[in-house]
Structure 1
Amino acid sequence: MSGVSELVTGEAVALELRPARLPSRGLATLLDLVVAVTAYVVVSIVVVVTTASLDDAAQIALSIATFLLVLVGGPIAVETLSHGRSLGKLACGLRVVRDDGGPIRFRHALVRGAIGVVEILLTLGVVACIASLVSARGRRLGDVFAGTLVVRERVPAARSGLVPPPPPWLAGRFQGLDLSAVPDGLWLAVRQYLGRMGQLDPQVGWTMAVRLAGELAARTGVPVPQGVPPAAYLAAVVQERQVREARRAFGGGSVAAPVVGAGVAATAYGPPASYVPPVVGAGGPSQERAVDRSAGPGTGFVPPA
């Protein structure tokens, strides 16, 4: 495989990004350390001045608490609130994402920060440098255990491909699906397929869509609705997951689903016209059937009766 990884943002945008390598990560970490150490020194001076009357044991306890809060808790809080973009990473155009390309959460930042104490602070970055050099994607141990990856966020716009949204008649149709059992690897495969399906051979793309739709339906426990093209089903479920993540991120408020853009062809999810494609029946991928082409063109965007 090449050094380019196809990742997907929380907005269902497929991006071909190069994982951040040691020089850029080192510079970002150095900037973060300068800020953190400066804050630690200032806070420590304030603590020493205001607690001069306390005994030695109390001052030592406060010193340890200051270290943990500023040099450990501070970076964790910043990465959580900024969704993986600390000050150093922002300056270097980097971002921490999950392995499936989605935004990190508190647990990811916590694992990265806890292991970073040993990797970066206690060993002066030696362990982190060795791990990053050995890893194929430049990950340190904190990334491995947290299931995260640091990527270059600044890429030319031409290298990014928008994932076509589902047809309007599928909007909100899958609000009741239980998506908790769908693994990150399957989400990544679905999103990568949606971002690249326009570049695939029509027959190969349709076969992939049928397979992915079957796997997704098996994980949710609900078969693909009859008459819904598999690619449109995949896009609608991905959109539903995106809406749920946005609601969690913004406090459960009302979040509108993306609107179909003017540049999205109306037949983006339709089967190839040169053959009779299989679709996933009501019973899942094992009950595939042929489309009755006498009923009309197979655009895939006509809602079922």
Structure 2
Amino acid sequence: MSRLVTGDAVVLGLQVARLPSRAMALAIDLVVIVGVYLLVSVVLLSSVLPLGPAAAQAVGVALLILVLVGGPVAVETLSRGRSLGKLAFGLRVVRNDGGPVRFRHALVRGAIGFVEIIFTAGSVAAIASLVSAEGRRLGDVFAGTMVVRERVPGSRALPVAPPPPAVAGQLAELDLSRVPDSLWLAVRQYLSRIRQLDQGVAWSMAVRLADDMVARVGTPAPPGLHPAAYLSAVAGERQRREAERTFGAPAAAPVAPAAPPPPLPEPQPRPRESYRPEAPPPERRTGFTPPG
């Protein structure tokens, strides 16, 4: 996974395409390019052959450069970095900051690729890709680009139980004023990518973020609540409060009086309470057993 930082200081997690997938995509592109070159050369050379061998050689050289260099450059520019082979294997050429490539990037890649792929039979490009930590060949280094995977296989989602209805009343009493924006941003990014994370990574991140959230609000988490469900419930409570401040509290429908619910046990706040929805055994800090 490559950690790219955009101009807006946003960290992008992109999976870099490695040599095997890039080689197979290049093989498809070369088959298409060679086929187009042979077809066009037969048509043009048969037309200019009566003009003499010198004219035929000039047309052949111009056609070779036009198809082998101009063709890939035009395709990558118009498709924003996706040739036919890259489309088949779910790859794309992007800039070092994660943005789409432009004509100058495609031109540099195509010109240098004509030398390192065609003239050297791909040996220079293969060596450069193996040496580079991000799998970049010389054309990518000089153009400031890289090839990434667009279709990343997703891991099995971590099962998260919904919060019980009684939790809503406890969350409404939380003091969220001491939670910094950086923690809210981390929670929002985690919840949006939880289905793309490995189970162990998702569990450890949920426990760490829940610990930080509990320490900020100063109130222990409800017993028996999953840490990811706790984060989702707290984030939803913050959005509900912001919506009320912006649009006003919604009018409640008249309901028949009901018996008051039994009182909940009063939580005992501690300044740096770890996220403990259940009584933990002595050898574990949080008391959770990682799934699977």
- TM-score when scaled to structure 2? 0.53
Tell me the residue number matched to 2:43: 46
Counterpart CA distance in 1 for 2:61 and 2:244 is 62
Counterpart CA distance in 1 for 2:140 and 2:123 is 15
**Residues 1:61 and 1:194: Cα distance change in structure 2 (over 3 Å):** farther
Letter of the 2:59 partner, please give it. Answer: L
Letter of the 2:68 partner, please give it. Answer: L
**Residues 1:136 and 1:63: Cα distance change in structure 2 (over 3 Å):** same
Counterpart CA distance in 1 for 2:209 and 2:122 is 47
Give secondary structure in 1 for the equivalent of 2:93: strand
**Residues 1:92 and 1:59: Cα distance change in structure 2 (over 3 Å):** same
Match of 1:132 among 113, 129, 133: 129
Counterpart CA distance in 2 for 1:126 and 1:133 is 11
Name whichever of 17-26 and 73-82 sits farther off. 17-26
Tell me the residue number matched to 2:105: 108
CA apart distance, 1:81 = 0.6
Give secondary structure in 1 for the equivalent of 2:49: coil
Match of 1:28 among 25, 28, 41: 25
Give secondary structure in 2 for the equivalent of 1:53: helix
- 1:95-126 deviations in Å (ceiling 9; x for gaps): 10111111111111000000001110111101
Counterpart CA distance in 1 for 2:100 and 2:244 is 31
Query: Is contact 1:139–1:149 with CA below 8 Å preserved after alignment?
Result: yes
Letter of the 1:131 partner, please give it. Answer: A
Tell me the residue number matched to 1:59: 56
Query: Is contact 1:14–1:195 with CA below 8 Å preserved after alignment?
Result: no
CA apart distance, 1:66 = 0.4
- 1:203-234 deviations in Å (ceiling 9; x for gaps): x9xxxxxxxxxxxxxxxxxxxxxxxxxxxxxx
Name whichever of 55-64 and 104-113 sits farther off. 55-64
Query: Is contact 1:17–1:155 with CA below 8 Å preserved after alignment?
Result: no
CA apart distance, 1:48 = 1.2
Give secondary structure in 2 for the equivalent of 1:95: strand
Query: Is contact 2:12–2:98 with CA below 8 Å preserved after alignment?
Result: no
**Residues 1:152 and 1:57: Cα distance change in structure 2 (over 3 Å):** same
Query: Is contact 1:266–1:301 with CA below 8 Å preserved after alignment?
Result: no
Tell me the residue number matched to 2:173: none
Counterpart CA distance in 1 for 2:43 and 2:61 is 14
- 1:57-97 deviations in Å (ceiling 9; x for gaps): 21111111101111110000001111111000011111101
Letter of the 1:116 partner, please give it. Answer: G
Q: What number of residue pairs does the alignment pair up?
A: 180
- TM-score when scaled to structure 1? 0.51
Tell me the residue number matched to 2:84: 87
Greater C-alpha Rg: 2
Letter of the 1:25 partner, please give it. Answer: R
> Do residues 74 (structure 1) and 49 (structure 2) align?
no
Letter of the 1:71 partner, please give it. Answer: L
- 1:129-188 deviations in Å (ceiling 9; x for gaps): 0000100011000000111010111014679xxxxxxxxxxxxxxxxxxxxxxxxxxxxx
The gaps in structure 2 that reach 5 residues or longer are: 157-184, 192-204, 213-234, 247-292
1:145-184 → structure 2 map (5 Å cutoff): 145-156=142-153
The gaps in structure 1 that reach 5 residues or longer are: 160-191, 205-263, 269-296
Counterpart CA distance in 2 for 1:124 and 1:87 is 20
Counterpart CA distance in 1 for 2:27 and 2:90 is 14
**Residues 1:105 and 1:69: Cα distance change in structure 2 (over 3 Å):** same
Query: Is contact 1:83–1:103 with CA below 8 Å preserved after alignment?
Result: yes
**Residues 1:82 and 1:49: Cα distance change in structure 2 (over 3 Å):** same
Give secondary structure in 2 for the equivalent of 1:150: strand
**Residues 1:64 and 1:156: Cα distance change in structure 2 (over 3 Å):** same
Higher strand share: 1
Give secondary structure in 2 for the equivalent of 1:31: helix
Query: Is contact 1:98–1:147 with CA below 8 Å preserved after alignment?
Result: yes
Query: Is contact 2:49–2:55 with CA below 8 Å preserved after alignment?
Result: no
Letter of the 1:21 partner, please give it. Answer: R
